[in-house]
Amino acid sequence: MDTTTRTTTTDASTTDAPKRPSAARTRLIDSATRLFYEEGIHAVGVDRIIEEAAVTRATLYKQFGGKENLVLAYLRNEDEMLRSMFADAGAEVADPAQLVDAVIEGIAADIRLRHTRGCPFINAAAEYPDAEGAVRQLIEEHREWFRSTLQGVAELAGLNSPAEVAASLVLLRDAALVGGYLDGEDRVAPAFERTARSVVDAHRSR
């Protein structure tokens, strides 16, 4: 009886365990992320991604069914990384006021170190004008999450008009990511931090 119970439990836990993405799927997303961001989505064909990821065409279509689903996977990957960054900041910083500073510093670091060719979501939106399409819907969901998360941070920090703070920070980040690509991060990142902090200071209770 005990053996049967143990076996049943093991089988259930194995069934419930989340499946890890295959190595081929990971390579496809990694390759697509680099190529789409550096060169543009429409400029990069399926053959280029297949070659970069060292997989077969059949593998790409088995994993994603086509290029648009790979584009969606690329954007979801970007979304998950930003969510993870916020989660890590929240876990490391207990003081809500310091969390606001950590968010500003994290965005500035992203401008300097990672997203040096603009915002991947803005870039993708420029290539997908259909506001009702799957790509634009995903982008809208991401931006709504980002805006509401910033508003939540502002509320926890006791800032006045947290929705206004969030809207301003989203606008500043959009401008800084585009400006960092055009004018260089050395000029833009400090300007973003300075302006973002002035917005936050203007909404602190006196």
Which pLDDT does position 206 carry in this prediction?
A: 67
* Amino acid residing at 159: L
Mention every residue, 6+ apart, whose C-beta is less than 8 A from residue 159.
100, 165, 200, 203, 204, 205
Which pLDDT does position 10 carry in this prediction?
A: 40
pLDDT along the chain (206 residues), means of 10: 40 48 90 95 96 94 94 96 84 84 90 90 96 96 96 94 96 93 88 95 87
Structure pTM? 0.84
3 state SS of 170: helix
Which pLDDT does position 175 carry in this prediction?
A: 94
Burial of 196 (C-beta count, 10 Å sphere; 0-12/13-18/19+): buried
Which pLDDT does position 87 carry in this prediction?
A: 84
